[in-house]
Amino acid sequence: MNEPSFDQLIDDFEFLDDWEERYKYVIELGRSLEPLEEEARSASNKVQGCASQVWLISQVNGTGSGSILTFRGDSDALIVKGLIAVLHILLSGRPPRDIIETDVQAALGKLGLHEALTPQRSNGLAAMIARLKSDAAALAA
């Protein structure tokens, strides 16, 4: 599956009638992610604060103000892997400053994710966002 833009993702969510269909779509997005190698599933890449196992790896391409942050991620839970895919669509491949300044919660609000996620999943999503913003801040410094 080709990765849609975030605007396309919003359109797709609006097109789907109910949350069961939207969950299936999020899971499908997660299945399209390349799985991480076993050695990447290390304690240093593990996201703390998630009930599921989640690993994120950030990479920098370029230098200085032209640097771009990309990330890869994986999870042992299908819906969480889908949430990683949504964050990838929104944040990966952008300059660190853009990532820091993006109001991720507002963007995800356009998808209506907050109403559909359990508090535990919402906390895990917040932990993933914090980790990505922290990685971006470290690069921007």
Which residue, among 28, 13, 6, 19, has the nearest Cα to 116 in the 3D structure?
19
Which residue, among 34, 27, 58, has the nearest Cα to 129 in the 3D structure?
58
Q: Are strands 54-61 and 68-75 parallel, antiparallel or unpaired?
A: antiparallel
- Which one of the listed residues 50, 87, 113, 132 is annotated catalytic? 50
50 is catalytic: yes
Q: What type of residue is 36?
A: L
Provide φ and ψ at 73, rounded to 5°.
Answer: -150, 165
CA 135, CA 67: separation in Å to the nearest integer?
A: 13
CA 1, CA 18: separation in Å to the nearest integer?
A: 22
Task: Give catalytic residues, as residue numbers.
Answer: 50
